[in-house]
Every structure is written in C-alpha cells, then in structure tokens.
C-alpha cells in the first residue's frame, strides 16, 4: 500500500522539528501530483502565513505565499517541496503503518527508491532510507 505523505523537514541540524509535529497529512496515493502540490501549498500557507496573507492568497490577489513545486524527471513526479527551513516535503511512500507504544501512536513508513536519474534531496543523502516515524 502506498500513500502521499506530507511532513515537515529541516535541511539544518540547527532547526529542530518536534516528532509530534512532523507528519502534516496523509493522502490517497491515487491523487495526481499537481493536486497534492496545491494541497501542500495551502497547508504550508496555513501554517506559516499571517491571516491577511492567507486571505489575499484565497482571493487570488497573491499567488503562492511560498510556492510549492514538484520535481519532474522523465514523467516521474514523486517529490513536492514548499518553504525554506523548515519546509514541507510531500512524496509517495510505501507500507505506512501505525505502531502504538505507551498509549501513543507512531507512524512508520518505507521511503520509496528513487528512479536512477533522480538524486535524494541533499538533506537525505546521508540519512538512512527505509523508515521514518513520528511518536
């Protein structure tokens, strides 16, 4: 089973993200990348922008407070990013599952292997590939 997973990520060890806040949304894998990109942009704006910025965005007076973009390589659209640091990172992941420990749920998933011509984002090149979780 696969899902679109949207998480907060950091490119710097100086910016910490609380594990309870890491997972932003879980979406159906059948959704097109462009629709997920729009949702990531809205989620990011709602988390980071002022009310007046969000209202202007909703009225279409201002395009993308922090525009989300997706990587496209030979038709592959598996990564979406929005913001600076921290930023939202949307991607297709496999085998999402819930583990419960001490009355708390944790989401665990397997990151997908990227196509040969696609590199991992710089913040992930040295981190382990298979699983992430949130307590």
Confidence of residue 89 (pLDDT cuts 50, 70, 90): very high
pLDDT value of position 13: 83
Which is nearest to 2 in space by CA: 134, 117, 116, 91?
91
Q: What is the pTM of this model?
A: 0.80
pLDDT value of position 8: 94
Write out pLDDT tens, residues 98-135: 999 889 898 999 998 777 766 555 544 433 333 444 43
Residues in the chain: 135
- Mean pLDDT comparison of 12-26, 27-41, 53-67, 73-87, highest-scoring range: 27-41
pLDDT value of position 75: 63
Percent of the chain residues topping a pLDDT of 90: 36
pLDDT value of position 112: 86
Cis amide bond preceding 86, omega within 30: yes
């Amino acid at each position: 089973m696969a899902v679109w997973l949207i998480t907060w990520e950091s490119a710097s060890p100086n910016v910490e993200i609380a594990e309870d806040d890491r997972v932003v949304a879980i979406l159906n894998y059948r959704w097109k990348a462009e629709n997920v990109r729009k949702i990531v942009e809205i989620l990011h704006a709602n988390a980071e922008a002022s009310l007046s910025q969000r209202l202007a965005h909703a009225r279409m007076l201002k395009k993308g407070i922090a525009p989300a973009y997706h990587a496209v390589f030979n038709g592959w659209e598996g990564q979406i990013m929005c913001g600076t640091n921290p930023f939202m990172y949307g991607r297709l992941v496999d085998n999402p599952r819930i583990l419960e420990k001490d009355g708390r749920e944790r989401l665990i998933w397997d990151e997908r292997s990227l196509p040969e011509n696609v590199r991992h984002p710089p913040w992930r090149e040295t981190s382990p590939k298979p699983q992430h979780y949130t307590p």
